[in-house]
A and B are shown apart, each in its own frame.
Chain A
Amino acid sequence: MALDPSFIGRTYPPTEPYEVGREKIREFAVAVGDPNPAYTEREAAKALGHPDVIAPPTFPFVLTYAAAAQVVEDPELGLDFSRVVHGDQKFAYTRPLRAGDRVRVEIAIDNIKSLAGNDVLTVRGEVVEESGEHVVTSIMTLVARAADEQADEKAGEQ
C-alpha cells in the first residue's frame, strides 16, 4: 500500500546532541582511506582556516541516517524497511563538521511520491550546532520497492 502523502511536511523532534570527536573523524578518514591531514592534524586544518580538524564531506550521514530512524521506524508511516534502498543523497554545507561540535539533527519529510508502484520518500536532516549555527543539510531519498508482484513487474519495466 502506498505511503500516506499527508506525512509530507512532518517534522520530528531534534535528536539529543552528538559530540563530534577527533578520534571518530580519524576512524572515518582511515575507513575511507583518505590521508588528507585536515582530518587528523589540527595544525593542517588551521592552515586551511579551520579552528580544528574537520570531518570528511560524507561524515554527516552517520548522524543524519541515525536520526532518520525516526521516520523509518515511525509506526504511523508504516514503511517496510526490508524493501528500502538508498536512492540518492545530497549535502549542502554551511561549513564542515569539526571536532568539538555538539550538533542536533532535525528531521523532516519533504516529499512522498509513488513511482511505478514504488514509494519514494525524501527525508531532510538539518544538522545544527548547539549555538544554533547551521552546519549542513542532508537530503536523502529512500525508495521502498512495491510489495506486490504486479507492482514489481511495473517497476521492472522502467
Chain B
Amino acid sequence: MAVSFDEVAVGTELPAQSFPVSRATLVRYAGASGDFNPIHWNEKFAVGVGLPDVIAHGMFTMAEAVRVVTDWTGDPGAVVEYGVRFTRPVVVPNDEAGAVIEVSGKVAKLLDGRRVQVDLLVTSAGQKVLGMSRAVVQLG
C-alpha cells in the first residue's frame, strides 16, 4: 500500500528490518555485481590485508539498507536520492549464522513537492556500519 505524504510527520518510523549475510550471500552478490575483490570471499586474503575476516561488500550493505525505504514505499522508483558513507565493515564469519545487518529508519525532514528525507540507522554486531545514510523519497 502506497504511503501518502499526508500520513507522515518528522519522526515517523519506518518498519525496522534485519538482513542475514552469509558467505554464500557474498559469493552470490559478487557474481551479480561483478565485484570479485577477494576480501569479500577469501579469508586468507582478507586477513593478509589487515581485516579481521571476510567483509561484506559496502554496496551490498547499501542495497540492504535501502530496502527499509523501498519496502515502505512499495515503489522502489520513489527513491530520488540515496547516499551513504562506509564507516565500518560488516564482518562475515564462515559459519551458518554469518552476520546480520540491522536497519531502522525515520522521517527526518518534510521537503517540497511531497518529498521526505529518511535517515537510516544501519548496524551490525552492535556497531554502526554506514554513516550519513539517507534517502529522499517522492511520496504520493
Contacts and interface: CB of A to CB of B under 8 A. Distances in A.
Do A and B originate from a single complex? yes
Interface of A: 27-28, 30-34, 36, 38-39, 48-50, 54, 56-58, 61-62, 65-66, 85-93, 95-96, 139
B132 A54 contact: no
B31 interface: yes
Contacts of B80: 92-93
B33 A31 contact: yes
Contact of B76 (A30, A36, A86): A36
A81 to B, nearest CB: 10
Contact of A38 (B58, B67, B77): B77
Contacts of B79: 57, 93, 96
A58 B66 contact: yes
Nearest to B28: A31
Nearest to B20: A33
B132 A31 contact: no
Contact of B81 (A49, A93, A96): A93
Contacts of B77: 38, 48-50, 54, 93, 95-96
Given A86-B86, A87-B86, A28 B74 contact: no
Contacts of A31: 25, 28-29, 31-33
Contacts of B62: 58, 89
A90 B81 contact: yes
Nearest to A91: B82
Contacts of A56: 63, 66, 70, 76
A38 B81 contact: no
Contacts of A34: 63, 67, 70
B64 interface: yes
A112 to B, nearest CB: 18
B87 to A, nearest CB: 9
A57 B85 CA distance: 16
Nearest to A65: B35
B32 A27 contact: yes
Contact of A88 (B64, B70, B132): B132
23 contacts: A31-B29, A32-B29, A32-B32, A32-B64, A34-B67, A34-B70, A38-B75, A38-B76, A38-B77, A48-B75, A48-B77, A49-B75, A57-B76, A57-B82, A61-B33, A62-B33, A85-B86, A86-B58, A86-B59, A89-B59, A91-B81, A91-B82, A139-B83
Contacts of A33: 19, 25, 64
B96 to A, nearest CB: 16
A38 B76 CA distance: 8
A57 to B, nearest CB: 5
Contacts of B132: 88
Interface in B76-103: 76-77, 79-86
